[in-house]
Amino acid sequence: GSPRVARPQSAQYGACSQRRMSAMEALELLDQLVDESDPDVDFPNSFHAFQTAEGIRRAHPDKDWFHLVGLLHDLGKVLVLFGEPQ
C-alpha cells in the first residue's frame, strides 16, 4: 500500500503538548462545551461519558477495557477548547 500521510492535526496534537491533564480533568473540561450535535441537553457532557461506561459495564461486566472505552469515547471533543471546530 501507499505510505500514510500525516494530517496537520497529527502534527499539531500528536506530541500531546497543548496541555497536560489526567483523563478525569479532560472529562471535567467536556462540561465547558456545548455539543453542537446535542445542544439542548440539560446535564453536563461528562455525565454522558459516565452513563455510557455504566451501560457498557452492565451489558458486558467481563470487559473492563470496554468500560474504559465508553468513559473516554468523547474526550477528543476537548480539542474545541484549543481552536478545533466541532
- Which helix (H) or strand (E) covers residue 12, if one does? helix 8-13
Question: What are the residues whose beta carbons fall under 8 Å from the beta carbon of 58, sequence distance 6 or more?
Answer: none
CA dist 12 and 46 (Å) reads 25
67 is in an annotated binding site: no
73 is in an annotated binding site: yes
**Which residues are documented as binding site?**
48, 73-74
Which residue positions form the known binding site for Fe cation? 48, 73-74
